[in-house]
Structure 1
Amino acid sequence: MTGRDRVAHLMRQLASAACRCPAHSHTFHQGIANRALRPVLGIVDPLHTLHMPSRVAANSGFDVLCHALESYTALPYSDSVCVHGMSYPIAGNVKTYRAKEYSVDHPVVPHGLSVVVTSPAVFSFTASMCPDRHLEAAQILGADISNVKRADAGSILADTLRSFLFDLQVDDGLSALGYNKDDIPALVKGTLPQERVTKLSPRPHTEEDLTELFTASMKLY
């Protein structure tokens, strides 16, 4: 949980009640929203990260990073877009992946990792709708944009993110998290109900677009 998550909704990972056969069971994320869920206080303590395992700190930071990028490039005064909408089935359909430095006895893809792993593909996809903001985001992350074309905003931000993730030793895409091309239909299906966040994307998208984004995210480097 990051400090920006002082919101009036929560996501729960649930087992499908319709499937009684373990071989065909699956999980999904269900959003629950109510003003009564909003915490009265959010504590943001940067020093807390000094006592966290490095991967836990990094993955928490990836969530913050993607929220910031989404907020700046989404529809005006909005927050999450495709990156977060696509993250829920990535975490919810985990098969065998066990995140490093997490003390759990079951497979888990941490939220921040499930968010950031699709970020290069997604921001490359959305850049055509607001290239100047995507370029500014790349510049903030260290890219030299002095002689670039607006049409290249997506690839520049995507490459900047890939370099950032490579330096921080992030797993090489969805394939490194245990997914393959046969899993893409289920990942797309799990993204479609997340309209609460995906509808804020600056660029409209179809099931075919989501399929291409998951495919592009199979490998990062």
Structure 2
Amino acid sequence: MNATVTNGMIAGTAALLLSAIVSPLFGARRRLAGWLNFLFALAAGIAFAAAAAGAFAGGGGSAVLRIGGASLHLLVDPLSSLFLLLVSFMGIVAAFYSIGYMEHYAKYRLSGYYLHYPLFLLGMIAIVTVDDLSIGFTIAWQLMTISSFFLIRFDRDDPSIVRSANKYLVLMEAAWLLIVIGAALVSRGALGEPIHRLASELASAAPHRRGAV
């Protein structure tokens, strides 16, 4: 990845993390927290759009983040950049809509909502840019799943909403487990294999392994 793509991804990620720290501090000042959340989402969206533009211009590619002994594979190419733009746009629109919509929940403080919203967006961004189905995918999936679980059950005084949120969490965790097991079967237990390498291994695998996956 060139500097435009790398810097855009770093700046967008930083904006969402800052939003998760700063916006909840103003949870009692509801509209201010909403506007802060929106402005951070807008800043992140602009940064991710710049990264996507860089990838469309030919500056995309893969990168490997090493954390201890783990390797996290990332890929920002034209296809992932398309989803990067879609997630960013919808995140900005939803953040703007939230400013007024969350007034319907006057009995709740909004700190929790404005903590989990940017983390959910960050999880979605990670899902479309991570390039493995083990460590990096797990981090992205869990960030997206757990934060969205708390968003779904925000109106926690409604038992039906809590039940729906619990079902969602169980299904999402089951889906994660099946995906990781399938990837492990293809890679023979190797962690952090890039997705394109998994695809090549699956194509050349024995029929019984392909059937198991």
TM-score, normalised to structure 1, is: 0.26
Name which one, 1 or 2, has greater alpha-carbon Rg: 2
Higher helix fraction: Structure 1 or Structure 2? 2
TM-score by length of 2: 0.27
